[in-house]
Amino acid sequence: MIRDSEYNKDNAKMVINCVVYRHGKREEHVEVDQISEVLKEEKSFVWLGLYQPDPAFMQTLQEEFSLHELAIEDALVAHQRPKIEQYGESVFIVVKTAHMEERQRISFGETHFSSAKIF
């Protein structure tokens, strides 16, 4: 379980969204330190959206959810090529994104996904 001492106000700035889905339906927001308990429920998963997480927070997530160290390393490095990497039972995906802004300006970005069966 992620303890309050490991999840503080600085970490909250990195968390964009943390929502539980049950039986395929979005239900409610959960705090990061509640994820382990929620994942014990059948047919539930948690969507955790992060923005520029720091290495210490990612290390906490790695330890809590037994994520592969290369997936964590990849998640912390920007400007990667699009790819899909499998690490045991988890998958790490990098995709390029494009967004049309005002005045017909296109901005480009990068999104990293990681999916793992935790329980």
Sequence spans of domains, the chain: 1-65, 66-119
Does residue 103 register a pLDDT over 50? Answer: yes
Q: Edge-to-edge strand order for the sheet containing 106-116?
A: 83-87, 90-100, 106-116
Give the model's confidence band at 21: pLDDT under 50 very low, under 70 low, under 90 confident, else very high.
very high
Q: How many CA atoms lie within 13 A of 37 on its CB side?
A: 7
Q: Which two tokens stand for residue 81?
A: 């090529």
Identify the residue with better confidence: 110 or 1. 110
Interval 52-71: pLDDT, tens: 899 999 998 888 887 889 88
State the pLDDT at residue 12.
Answer: 58
Tokens standing for residue 19: 């929502």
Task: Find the angle CA(107)-CA(109)-CA(115) to the nearest 5 degrees.
Answer: 150
Report the CATH fold assignment for 66-119. Beta Polymerase; domain 2 (3.30.460)
Task: Give the C-alpha separation, 94 to 103, whole Å.
Answer: 28
Q: Is the pLDDT of residue 1 over 50?
A: no
Handedness of CA 56, 93, 112, 41 (dihedral sign): negative
Number of helices (H) and strands (E), helices first, in the chain? 4, 6
In this predicted structure, which of 4-8, 14-18, 29-33, 79-83 has the lowest mean pLDDT? 4-8
Residues of the chain with pLDDT > 70: what percent?
88
